[in-house]
Structure 1
Amino acid sequence: MKKIISYLKDYFFIELKPLYLLSIMLFIGTYIFAEYYWGLTDNINLSTFTKPSYIVAVILHFFFPFSLAWLIYSFYYNDWKIWQNNRFWFLIIFASTVFSLRTFLSFFTYDIYRILPDGRTEYFLYRCVAVVFRDFFIIFPVFVYWWFADRKTMPLYGFTLKNYNTKPYLIMLAIMLPLVVLASYQSDFLSQYPKGFSLFPLSFDVVTERKYFFIYEFFYGIDFIFIEFFFRGFLLLAFYRLFGWGCLLPMACFYVTIHFGKPLGETISSFFGGTILGILAIRTGSIAGGIIVHLGIAWLMEFAALLHKMI
């Protein structure tokens, strides 16, 4: 745990300029406020999913905070040369497009749900498979990029146990437990979780339906592994090799946007959680710890909400 603390201290007290952090927080805080007050992304809806404009809108939704955070970094660190780097432009557009494709497929599946047979089993199985299927559109293009650009210099963006120690991450997870319990008493939290109930008309009191809940939780967990791979793996390790610590807070801003629509507290905390896990991913070169924390919190939230439903 001492090493983890030293990693955090080195970044916050040596690498980071306070005014830069404040500016980033002001920017992303304003963006969060605009989203939750005016519902900016509500205009990106299912009715336009077949139009090219929809894809462009989703790409811009991710590209805007990601690129603007990089612009703020360039201002405070006087590092404008990155904007003259073709690789930099390729990576920020590539990253925004890849995740947009995943988002597009997430929305597209809703129409497929409507034409499935009425049987709940078919609906359930499709929903589980769809969770993992959409992540293929992250894994494949990122893997191809790694194969040609970074294969000789690093493992596949954080998929390594070198420099990894489980204990500190379990301590972090234990620290988060009371916060999750506290959040579970909020109405907006209970309206979203557990996903196994909000997505399916299941009853945990029916023994035969409990298995569906746990099967879905398994697939739900796999999704978090690939989210960690994209944000703390690709968005950090691919960028860090070329551009250094400047990649950290833009990643955190990008990460915040995928939480829009979730409880406000969860969205705000994603910035801080993403930043901390990002520091550790860069210093260790591994996303294993981030997977433990991220997946652990996700399942804690699910089961905390489940307990409320059962009481």
Structure 2
Amino acid sequence: MFSYKFLSVRLRWMTFHTLAKMLSEEFRKIDEFKGTEYSSKFSKDEKAICVFVLSAVLLTLMNFVVLSGKYQSLVADWICLCVGSMEDGRLKDFLGAIAPLYRLFAWSLGCFAVYFLIPALTIAFVFREPLRNYGLSPRGFVKHLKIYVLLYIPVAIAVALVSFTPQFQETYPFYHDPSGLLDFVLWEALYCLQFFALEFFFRGFFIHALKWKLGYMAIFAMVVPYCMIHFHKPFLEALGAIVAGIVLGLLSLRTNTIWGGVVIHCAVAITMDVASLVQRGVF
């Protein structure tokens, strides 16, 4: 019995060691393929320090400002005042009808500013580099489209299975009770804008700025804060963020584009929302 257990443990360790070695070799290949030449006026150390500090500040702003009810209420109230001062007409009626979206608009706009606008301005005016070096070029996306489709299929199946649970239906969509199809489409547009900004921050700005200093370890440095922003989500989704972060980070480094991650994120998010609404009988 002892020999059998020892052999079983030994085999598991050898399998894990072999897998780790294969992954390590694959990551080293990625290190050899940076995709672009280093062109910043900052040293690699200086850029890494700047990115780490700025990222910490931006994530703090996200948590204490953008996600705060006070900020969202202020923006929503301001929009209400603007709409109220408009002349009567179809536009005013339409904007009044989507008033429940105002707070979510504030959230999406805040995410766009923190995750995209500030990092993009930093790249352009501080690092003085083109944004395409940080994953915004679509080149490479179509070539690897099959990979993204293969990644989406199992996630979509998992979403379909989980959509039956009460916790899932209580969580999604964030815009809990859309009044109609147009309402729902507007919400998904705001949702996808946020995902674009999110992908740019984690898989564009963070990874492509740090790859020159950390190599493939930039992926794992990114995964820690990426997982942490999911702590308020369901447990399995937070765990899944670790795997998703590694895979999407790997693809971003390998393809030099974030658009695959953007498309997957948006497709999965829309699938989750639709699945939840179908289970609740809204659709």
Number of positions where the alignment pairs a residue of Structure 1 with one of Structure 2: 230
TM-score, normalised relative to structure 2: 0.72
Amino acid in structure 2 at the alignment position of 1:162: R
Please report how far the alpha carbon of residue 162 of structure 1 lies from its aligned counterpart in structure 2 after TM superposition. Answer: 2.0
Cα deviation, residue 169, structure 1: 0.8
Unaligned runs of 5+ in 1: 1-7, 18-83, 204-208
Letter in 1 for 2:166: S
Alignment match of 2:97 (pick from 121, 132, 139): 121
What is aligned with 1:23?
none
Report the CA distance shift for 1:202/1:281 in structure 2 as closer, same or farther (over 3 A).
Answer: closer
Find the counterpart in structure 1 of residue 123 from structure 2. 146
8 Å contact from structure 2 (residues 75, 106) kept in 1: no
CA contact (8 A) 2:72 2:106 kept: no
Partner deviation per Cα, 1:39-85 (whole Å, 9 max, x = no partner): xxxxxxxxxxxxxxxxxxxxxxxxxxxxxxxxxxxxxxxxxxxxx94
**Aligned counterpart, 2:71:** 109
Equivalent residues in 2 for 1:84-233, closer than 5 Å: 85-103=45-63, 104-107=65-68, 108-112=70-74, 121=97, 123-134=99-110, 135-148=112-125, 150-152=127-129, 155-164=132-141, 165=143, 166-197=145-176, 201-203=177-179, 209-233=180-204
Structure 2 residue ranges without an equivalent (≥5):
1-18, 29-43, 85-94
Distance 1:94 1:120, change over 3 A: same
Kindly indicate whether the alpha-carbon contact (under 8 Å) linking 2:124 and 2:131 is maintained by their aligned counterparts in 1. Answer: no
Q: Does the CA contact (< 8 Å) of 2:203 and 2:249 recur in 1?
A: yes
**Which amino acid is the alignment partner of residue 126 of structure 1?**
Y
Letter in 2 for 1:109: Y
Point out the more displaced range, 236-245 or 221-230: 236-245
TM-fit CA distance, 1:271:
0.4
Structure-2 residue corresponding to 1:14 = 25
Distance 1:138 1:191, change over 3 A: same
CA RMSD of aligned residues (A): 3.0
Q: Is the 8 A contact 1:15 1:245 kept in 2?
A: no
Find the structure with the greater CA-based Rg. Answer: 2
Q: What is the CA-CA distance between 1:186 and the residue it aligns to?
A: 2.2
Letter in 1 for 2:103: R
Question: TM-score normalised to the size of structure 1?
Answer: 0.66
**SS of the counterpart of 1:306?**
helix
Aligned residue type for 2:156:
L
Alpha-carbon distance in structure 2 between the residues aligned to 1:220 and 1:212:
12
Shift of 1:237: 0.6
Matches within 5 A, 1:294-309: 294-309=265-280
The one-letter amino acid of 2:106's match is A
CA 1:183–1:102: 2 relative to 1, 3 Å: same
